[in-house]
Structure 1
Amino acid sequence: MIKYTRFLITLLLAVSSFAAFAQSTATTSSPYSRYGIGDIDPQLMPQNIAMGGIGVATNRISLFNNINIVNPASYGAINLTTIDIGIYSNFLTLSQAGAASQKNSNFRLSHVAFAIPVTKRSALSFGLVPYSERGYNYKNTVKGNGAIPADTNLTNYTYSGDGGLSKAYFGYGFGIGKHLLIGANVSYIFGTLKDISTTEINTNINGVIYPLPGTTNSKIESSNSIAGLNYDYGVQYSVDFSDTKHLTFGYSGSLNSKLNSTSSFIVSQYFNDNSGNEDIPLDSVVNRQSAKTKIKLPLTNRFGISFQNDGKFLVGADYTMSKWSQLSIGGENQGLQDSRTFNIGGQYTPNIATLRNYLASVDYRLGALYDETYMVVNNTRIKRYAVTAGVGMPLRPNNGSFYKINISAEVGRRGSLVNGLVRENYVNIHLGFTLNDKWFQKYKFD
């Protein structure tokens, strides 16, 4: 009982830290995160990310209980208390035609998820995962006024944003008969998204940039504090070819529910000091605190298929389509496109039961994905391509407890160098720790 108490205290501290972190810190550095509600997180565990992001038709992977938030029907296959905690790091290189490349990196706690079996064919799951992220900062410098050819002053337009949304979920999945699993999640999505743009006038004296004396600069700050409920649902159906070989079909969806949003819009003026930093603030020109409005999320449908030989291999594919053209904030459509994502991948375990060759007991995973995102920028559809790989490394069992470390890497590209766009080359690293154990069990003594 002592080990359970200590772990639960650690779990609660991790959840509290993650909640505070997700509310206040930007964990991405992508200019494309300014669109919509930011970069959407896949809400997958590292073991699924390593297989190209498949998850709609997976539940137990290599005889190990896994928490699969993407399809809550999978909870019905969980028969041991399962805990999954992970961290995430991102390495990003931004390139644009005619400009020097820029490199950024980020690091954060990625997820805390917990599942408890209720009966032999049902389980509860709850946890906290990121839903979306916003984080960007770039500048556009224009020489002269345009209307006055002799004007040699420089106008700097800067754009930045940060924040993100988190998803606290509670779900239940159960089995009907031997082949059918059904489940649902109710989630609370919350967080704040901020955007800031500034206009500053500078002058060039002998190659040195100085603030133009007597010129006021302007700043526009807008933010949305968002909170509300969202609902996910799913089903899985398996066809058994033998006791160990199964073909599984999966479907899951997310309703186009509405979230509450409280927005603010502030336009202010300021002077720069001699170093070019914001110095003397002036009164706000506009300070508008709006009443609560609604954000309408898109309807999402996911379809998947997988084939698994228990303890040996798994292969699968997913197709996801989301109606992002429906996204509206405060009744205003955001002008996005419907997205489509294709995922394919699998894993292979040479010998899950070996005691002498550790490498033969490791899960080896590989996959790929293609994503037509919801963004069209400068008349160009923004697409994403990636390959994934990873391993699942079992640790020595201890008194009926089973542990596994899951590591995944996603190497991909998003965007383009044409039409003045930015191309992103990125590497995402996910590290997760998964525990399977028997908790809350009454022992009988003769």
Structure 2
Amino acid sequence: MYKKINYIAAVLVLFTGITAQAQITSQSPYSRYGLGNVKQLVLPQLRAMGGISAGVYKPNGYSNINMQNPASYVGISMTTADMGISGTFNNLSQGNLSEKSFNGSLSHIAFAFPVVQGKTGLSFGLMPFTQVGYDYKTSSTLDTVNAISTFTGQGGLSKAYLGIGQAIGDNFRIGANVEYIFGDLQNTSTYELQRLNAVYSREQDKNSVGGVSFSYGAQYEIKLGSKKRITLGYSGSASSNINSTRTFIASQFVRAADGEDSGVSDTLSIVNGAKTKLKLPLTHNFGFTIQKDNKWMFGADYRMGGWKKLTIAGVNQGLQDSWGVSAGGQYTPDISSINNYFARVDYRLGYTYDKTYIQKGGQDIKQQAVTFGLGLPMSSSRYSIYKMNVTAEVGQRGTLSNGLVKENYVNVHLAFTLNDTWFIKNKLY
């Protein structure tokens, strides 16, 4: 009982911390565009398998939360809690220049529990949706004078969700999430001529977002025997108009001889608290898994997003439609082994590739990564299972062609999963 109380207390502390992280910081110049770097809504367990999700139902003998496809909530057989942290080691390179950085944050909190065993499941939680974090300069020459443009941004969006999954017959499942998307997107750009008493300009644009969207999913199961099955899956998100409040200030400054600002010389434009909309695109995700219960699973996904239609404050963001593929699986040598701990470990491997919604200099910005991880049993009993999931993603985004920036990154995720019978009464005989 004390373990449960301590676990709940830790979860509540984590929940407060995640809610407070309105300014998630990353180091990626590509997060300047659109909504920033969009995160897959999957836990480390699935991220280690390339991020597959559409056809993932119940990959092992314990319950995992797959919020990317809410139809999978039907497979939740015990009260499940999952929380974790993540960190990114990033190396940016452009020509002969390079820069390294590290950023860490609390990553997720999620709960799920069965309503009707094997028929209906519920889940709710909080996940990062996008991340914005960049700070870089570009230079040019205007009438023999150097002109410096500086771009900085921070913030990001999060998703709080509540979802339900329902079985229809023995082989078909459907599900839906109601999601509240919230956060701030802050972007600042400065243009300056490098000479004494030069006038330079600055634009500060902030969108505070808060509104409701919807996602949904379905799965169909084909049994290949008592322990083998193929699961076909689909998930998607609706095109939603999210409320946003915009603040925009365009100003001119004078740089004094000592290099300090002498104050605002003119405010060119100001928008304070304008009520606007952020229009999210329609997205689709198709996939399958084939598995032998409690032994192995392999799957693949194909996804696409209509990001050409993304608008912020009524302005189209000039993006392109995206698509991506993922493949991966996991293997557990002997889930019931008593004497061999490593035989009970889940071994996971995957690959993911995306043509992102960004195109610069005629180049599609692409992203790919090899993923791997372990599901490490911590303790178990008749009524509870504790597991630690460790995942790493080794990948790259962008290219060195046409003077662009290439990012080499290593994402590390650590999550703790609890399966327990919190809401089940013990029977007396």
Q: Give the TM-score normalised by structure 1.
A: 0.92
Q: After TM superposition, give the deviation of residue 290 of structure 1 in Å.
A: 5.2
Q: Does 1:423 align with 2:420?
A: no
Compared CA separation, residues 277 and 28, structure 1 to 2 (3 A): farther
Distance 2:301 2:378 in 1: 30
Structure 2 match to 1:268: 251
Q: Does 1:117 align with 2:109?
A: no
Q: Does 1:165 align with 2:157?
A: yes
Q: Does 1:322 align with 2:320?
A: no
Structure 2 match to 1:247: 230
Identity %, equivalent residues: 47
Structure 2 match to 1:175: 167
SS in 2 for 1:250: strand
Long gaps (5+) in structure 2: none
Q: After TM superposition, give the deviation of residue 283 of structure 1 in Å.
A: 5.3
Tell me if structure 2 keeps the 8 A contact 1:137–1:158.
Answer: yes
1:267-304, Cα deviation, whole Å (9 max, x unpaired): 12334567745564555332222531211111011111
Structure 1 match to 2:19: 19
Tell me if structure 1 keeps the 8 A contact 2:237–2:284.
Answer: yes
Q: After TM superposition, give the deviation of residue 405 of structure 1 in Å.
A: 0.7
Q: After TM superposition, give the deviation of residue 316 of structure 1 in Å.
A: 0.3
Q: After TM superposition, give the deviation of residue 136 of structure 1 in Å.
A: 0.7
Instruction: Give the aligned CA root-mean-square deviation in angstroms.
Output: 1.7
SS in 2 for 1:61: coil
1:351-380, Cα deviation, whole Å (9 max, x unpaired): 111111111111111111111111111111
Q: After TM superposition, give the deviation of residue 241 of structure 1 in Å.
A: 1.3
Structure 2 match to 1:47: 45
**Aligned ranges for residues 40-119 of structure 1 at < 5 Å?**
40-97=38-95, 99-119=96-116
Structure 1 match to 2:124: 126
Tell me if structure 2 keeps the 8 A contact 1:87–1:431.
Answer: yes
**Aligned ranges for residues 376-415 of structure 1 at < 5 Å?**
376-398=359-381, 400-415=383-398
Residue type of the alignment partner of 2:18: F
SS in 1 for 2:414: strand
Structure 1 match to 2:192: 200
Tell me if structure 1 keeps the 8 A contact 2:246–2:313.
Answer: no
Long gaps (5+) in structure 1: 204-211
Tell me if structure 2 keeps the 8 A contact 1:227–1:261.
Answer: yes
1:9-47, Cα deviation, whole Å (9 max, x unpaired): 3322211211111x1x23211111111111101011001
Give the length in aligned residue pairs. 428
Tell me if structure 1 keeps the 8 A contact 2:24–2:105.
Answer: no
Distance 2:404 2:74 in 1: 45
Distance 1:279 1:81 in 2: 60
Q: After TM superposition, give the deviation of residue 332 of structure 1 in Å.
A: 2.2
Structure 2 match to 1:296: 279
Distance 2:293 2:261 in 1: 62
Q: Does 1:7 align with 2:7?
A: yes
Distance 2:237 2:80 in 1: 24
**Aligned ranges for residues 221-260 of structure 1 at < 5 Å?**
221-260=204-243
Compared CA separation, residues 275 and 164, structure 1 to 2 (3 A): farther
Distance 1:399 1:349 in 2: 20
Segment drifting more, 431-440 vs 134-143: 134-143
Q: After TM superposition, give the deviation of residue 249 of structure 1 in Å.
A: 0.4
Distance 1:382 1:291 in 2: 32
Compared CA separation, residues 276 and 86, structure 1 to 2 (3 A): farther
Compared CA separation, residues 71 and 278, structure 1 to 2 (3 A): farther
Q: After TM superposition, give the deviation of residue 262 of structure 1 in Å.
A: 1.3
Tell me if structure 2 keeps the 8 A contact 1:266–1:288.
Answer: yes
Tell me if structure 2 keeps the 8 A contact 1:59–1:65.
Answer: no
